[in-house]
Amino acid sequence: MLKGQNSLLTIPKQDDDTFLLVQLPNSLPIETLLKTASLVSHKANAQACLVTDDKSFALCRVETSNALVLVPETNPAEPPPKKLKTTKGTELTQTPCRLLGAGSGAYFLELKERHLDLKALEGLLIHFDPYNSDANADPTCQGASLDTLALELQVSKAQVKVGLEDLQALEYESQYSVLSEEAWQEARRAILSALTECDDFGNYAQDGVDRQQMIQESMKRTTESYPQLEAVLRLVLANMTKQEEGDKIRIDFNKVR
């Protein structure tokens, strides 16, 4: 590794003495790479990616016509290297080095930071609608795990979590799916019916309501019954919540109209 604006790291290419040169971006400290990074390439002909706890990078091959020579860092604690002189008396320092490539065919690997494709994430989740309204949905599937989504998209779990929040994805038994418009509106209608029909919820915007009681009353007013129903109502209710204090929530009046 060389110090500077960008770090350089050599990794074994095979079991022999062959190495590849990898240029690390400033956003990936060498300590993070060594502790948490892993290579991901689970599809045939797919680009290999390097994934850490919170970021992901594409491994891009960069061709170069320059010679790639690695020189180790100097260590003040070590004895000074042996001095050599040319025939003209000029002093030279003997330094061990490694020539990785020169001329035609020389290359190194560059890491380019990858960002989550929300449309790609939504495309995966759409097949796990509890109503199975999508013709291509698998009725035996109840969702996708965080590990599955991260592997399929070749990004970090932290990036997937941010995307799931942005998409207001449903979590049920550590499996994630996305609600169809039909499922969302059905849950919303049940919540609105509970708000208008139960005396305990009369002042929902100012005094608030008990979250669990609200969910139980809403479940009585749904026309569909499926295992994820309570989780669906909790998700939609969270979208309508303006403020929460423990088990009590205040409903956003603008979300009710």
Give the integer Cα–Cα distance in Å for 200 and 43: 55
DSSP letter at 130?
T
Number of separate domains in the chain: 3
| Other residues' Cβ atoms within 10 Å of the Cβ of residue 152 | 15
In a domain, residue 101? The reply is yes
Q: What is the pLDDT of residue 10?
A: 54
Report pLDDT for 232: 92
Give the whole-angstrom CA distance, residue 121 versus residue 183. Answer: 19
Q: Are residues 94 and 190 in the same domain?
A: no
Task: Give me the pLDDT at residue 4, please.
Answer: 38
Q: Are residues 51 and 122 in the same domain?
A: no
* 214 is a domain residue: yes
- Which DSSP helix (H) or strand (E) runs through 183? helix 181-197
* Residue-level pLDDT at 15: 53
Shared domain check, 90 and 25: yes
Q: 16 with 99, same domain?
A: yes
Can you give the pLDDT at residue 157? 94
Give the pLDDT of residue 14. 52
Residues 219 and 207 placed together within one structural domain of the fold? yes
Domain match, 148 and 223 both: no
C-beta neighbour count of 43 within 10 angstroms: 10
Write down the pLDDT at residue 5.
Answer: 40
Q: Do the Cβ atoms of 85 and 14 come closer than 8 Å?
A: no
Are 103 and 158 in a shared domain?
A: no
Please give the pLDDT value at position 180.
84
Residue ending a domain, choose from 160, 177, 194: 177
Cβ–Cβ < 8 Å for 116, 155: yes
Q: Do 97 and 129 belong to one domain?
A: no
Domain boundary among 76, 99, 114: 114
Residue 1 has a pLDDT of 37
Taking the mean position of all CA atoms in its chain, how far away is CA 80? Answer: 47
Are 12 and 104 part of one and the same domain?
Answer: yes
| Single-letter code of the amino acid located at 182 | E
Instruction: Note down the domain range covering 232.
Output: 181-256
Low-confidence ranges of the chain (pLDDT < 50): 1-6, 135, 137
Supply the pLDDT for residue 2.
Answer: 37
Q: What's phi and psi for 40, nearest 5 deg?
A: -125, 125
